[in-house]
Amino acid sequence: MRRKRSFLKEFPFLIVVALVVSLFIKTFIVQFFFIPSGSMENTLQIKDRVAVNRVPFIGNNVSRGDVIVFRDPAGWLPEASSVSGNRVTNAIREGLVIVGVVPNPAKQYLVKRVIGVAGDKVVAKDEVLTINGKPTNEPYIFSGNSPSDTDFNITVPEGKVWVMGDHRGASGDSRVHQDDVNNGMVPVEKITGRVIATIWPLNQIGLISSQDPLSSK
């Protein structure tokens, strides 16, 4: 009987500890996201759930070939619509947002692959993509797509990255937004983290590796 009373007294404390641990994990270690579009096929599929590692990006450490999640840098996405539901479901959803199981719907996120980092000269001409004068090797590109059907010639400035979707023919990425305030670049402070794994559905579970487009492998 005493053990039961002791547990009941400690239960609120255990809940608080669990929430603190969850918030710590969400803020500094890992966060989970839902893939809403096909812009990263076949690396990521529509409705996949992915785990995002936040640790390297606390120090803005980003590498060419990383698959990253980032906040909308300059109106790339339409304005988020309000989420409807009853009081109970809204409370549950808000709780899941707080602990990092689902992203905050008020914040707009995208997922793309880093193609160019600070100092890189990225050029697309006649459906051939080069970085610093070297042709790219991108086995992850969606079957039937060219490296880019849009010509461009850019140099990535300090503090920004150039991103593209693996499904090049269905991705609204840096190429499409060259007229925005960042010239299509993504500021590194907008990066949430690197996608490290697909965790749902079960048949899609697996690690997501960084693949440098200049790698010979």
What digits encode the pLDDT tens for the residues 85-113? 677 776 666 666 555 555 555 458 999 99
Catalytic residues: 39, 112
Give 21's pLDDT tier (boundaries 50, 70, 90). Answer: very low
For 96, list phi and psi in degrees, rounded to 5.
Answer: -65, -35
Structure tokens at 49: 């759930």
CA angle 71, 77, 78 (to 5 degrees): 130
Burial bucket for residue 20 (CB in 10 Å: 0-12, 13-18, 19+) = exposed
Tens of pLDDT, residue by residue over 63-80, are 999 999 999 999 999 876
* Closest by CA position to 71, among listed 215, 186, 206: 186
Give 82's pLDDT tier (boundaries 50, 70, 90). Answer: low
What is the 8-class DSSP label of residue 158?
T
CATH number assigned to the domain covering 2-207: 2.10.109.10
Question: Does the pLDDT value for residue 196 go beyond 90?
Answer: yes
Radius of gyration of the chain (CA): 20
Domain borders along the chain are 2-207
